[in-house]
Structure formats: structure tokens, C-alpha cells
Structure 1
């Protein structure tokens, strides 16, 4: 459900940006061609707006229409910006659902327990997790910052066999799709050696 919404939003963003780009490109190409005289010398030397357009722009209702169009454009742009700022982290996780109701857990509780467990592994400097997509079938995004001398394979095996298994058991799920990103910390710079 949330995954479909994110895909629709991304597809809508691409289509909207493509449409705006095509309109701007076409307008620029037409203006360039007209200025270069490709539509005739009369068009190239003439004014941008003819007398009819100037009469319409000079009418008493034109400023109100311009303000209304500007408000609609600003509202749509603001809505688009707000949608970009939303993330797909779920707020609550559904542990059990029945006729009497459902049992939920805050995403931050599960996330905090997982981050604490993984951060205590040898070689892990920092762990950041996010549970995304759906309250019923969450996906995990786990970012690890490892020490420069960490055993990367050992950390990965421990995350897979211990941390992910514990998370699945606590959420009573058979599987949790996960993306684990590991990065190394920059090695400490060598102190300047004295020549004395």
C-alpha cells in the first residue's frame, strides 16, 4: 500500500518534470526560431504581443486572473514540496489483528532495540535503522558505520543470524525484507612525528 503510493508519487514526479521540461524546451525553441527569422522577417521584427493580446491584458479583470493563476501555481508547488519531504517510515507496527481489535507497537521501540543490539557488536561504531513500507509487512533499512579494522563479513553474518532473526521473532513475522548498508569510518590520521 505505502510502496504503491511511493511508486505512484515517483512516477508522477517524473512525468510532471518531463512535461514541464518539454513545455519549456518547446517554448524556448519556438522563441529562438522566431528571433532568428525562421518564421519570416515580419515575425522576427514584430512585437511579442499583438494589439489583441494587449487589449486583453489591459482589461480590468486581467490582474485578478493573473493573481488567481499565481495562487494556484504556488499552492501546487507548495503541495509538491511537502510531499517530497514525507518519508516512508511507518509510525506503528501491527503485531496482531483480530475481530476484537489489534495490537500495535511503536516503530521507534522496535527500531531502538535493533539499533542498540547491532551497535553493541564488535567493530560497529553506529547503527541507524528505519522500518518502512507497511505496518503489517515492514521492510528494514539498516545503515552501519564500522570501525576501519572491523570484520565486515563477521558483522554481516551476525546481523543476519542474530539481529534480523530477533526482529522477526519480536514482530512475529516470517520474513522482513532488508537492505543493509555498511560504511567504514575514516582511519585516524597519523600524528605528526617529531624529528628531535
Structure 2
């Protein structure tokens, strides 16, 4: 969801900047702008002296401008941290029993979970995603079930087999999981 919102917002901001920048460049190069455009020609300024100093006498003007700009900066920083924050756990600390420990790649553990969950009869596809901290990972598992599959059996197998194997092999005390199951949609076929 965040990825979609991010792409849409970036696309809209980019399009707006491209249109405004291109139109200002076109007017600056000598092209005649339409009658409704804010610039009249090459020597026109963005804000005239009268427009720029119109609110200087008001006591609320500069605090409002500074607050609005601060809000824009905070929203931009929030957006940047949301984009740069890693959602996927890249490494898991494994307790080797000798006090040293080791690091296990998160994708390797995800792959094992996916393969073991996909072995169950009636599971067409499994997808695992590790989140959390390296010493306390959590997982999200999505299962796509065939129409004949029993969701209770699939969930029981996942929790007692696949997640237990992953937890024991990594030496973790717990491996909390959020499991989502969906049914596979097949196209209608004519039987003769």
C-alpha cells in the first residue's frame, strides 16, 4: 500500500514540477504564453513588489508562513523515513549454544518456510516475510489454498511443522506469525 501511495505521489509531484518548470522555461525562451498564464513574457517576475510586501504589516503573516514551511519539512522527512525504512528483516541472530551466535540470512529462512508450507497438499503457493528485530523476528505468511484444501489442516501443519522447524533450527524462543489464507480463483471451464 505504501509503495503504491509513494509512486502516485512521486508521479504527481514530478508531473507538476515538469509542467511548471517547462512552462516557465518556455516563457523565458520567448514563447508567447496563453492569456490565463501568470507570466506575461521574458521580463516578468514571479512576485511583484506589491504582491511580495502586501502582508508585511500583518502580525500573523510570518508565523503562519514559518509554521506552514515547518509542516512541509516535517511531512517530507516523515515521507523520506517511511521510504527508506527497511520492512524486511535481512538477518536473524541464531543461538549456536557456544555463546558466540551466528547470523542467518533472512531470505534463507523465508525460503525454507515457503518451501515447507508449499509441500502441504492443497497449498498452491506460500509466501513468507520476516519482520521485527534480528534477535526477535516475526513472520507474516500468506497461503493460497486450492478449493479442496482444508484451512484448519493447513494452519495446523504450518504452526506445528514449518514454523516449529524454523524456530528450532534458528534457536529462537518464539517465532510469532501472522497467517493469511486466500483461496485460488479458477476460471470457469466448460465440461462436455
Q: What root-mean-square deviation, in Å, do the aligned CA atoms of Structure 1 and Structure 2 show?
A: 3.2
Structure 1: tracts of 5 or more residues without a match: 1-52
What's the CA shift string for 1:135-179, capped at 9, x where partnerless? 111111111111122122221121111101111111112321111
1:178 counterpart residue number = 177
Which residues in structure 2 correspond to 1:100-119 (within 5 Å)? 102-119=101-118
Does the 8 Å CA contact 1:94/1:104 hold for their aligned counterparts?
yes
Match runs of 1:1-196 below 5 Å: 54=54, 56=56, 72-85=70-83, 86-96=85-95, 102-191=101-190
Q: Quick one: distance in 2 between partners of 1:75 and 1:129? A: 36
Q: Kindly state the Cα deviation for residue 191 of structure 1 after the two structures are TM-superposed.
A: 2.6
Question: Aligned pair in 2 of structure 1 residues 159, 97: CA closer, same or farther (>3 Å)?
Answer: closer
Write the distance in 1 (CA, Å) between the matches of 2:168 and 2:97: 19
Q: Is the 8 A contact 2:145 2:182 kept in 1?
A: yes
Deviation of the 1:124 alpha carbon: 0.8
Distance 2:109 2:162 in 1: 11
Point out 4+ residue stretches in structure 1 off by more than 2 angstroms: 68-78, 82-89, 96-102, 190-193
CA distance in 2, matches of 1:142, 1:161: 14
Question: Going by fraction, where is helix more abundant, 1 or 2?
Answer: 1
Paired residue total: 136
Give me the whole-angstrom Cα distance separating, in 2, the residues matched to 1:149 and 1:188.
16
Matches of 2:183 and 2:96 in 1, distance apart?
41
Taking structure 1 as the reference length, what is the TM-score of the superposition? Answer: 0.57
Residue equivalent to 1:28: none
Per the normalisation by structure 2, the TM-score is 0.58
Identify the residue that residue 9 of structure 2 maps to in structure 1.
none
User: What's the secondary structure of 1:173's corresponding residue?
Assistant: coil
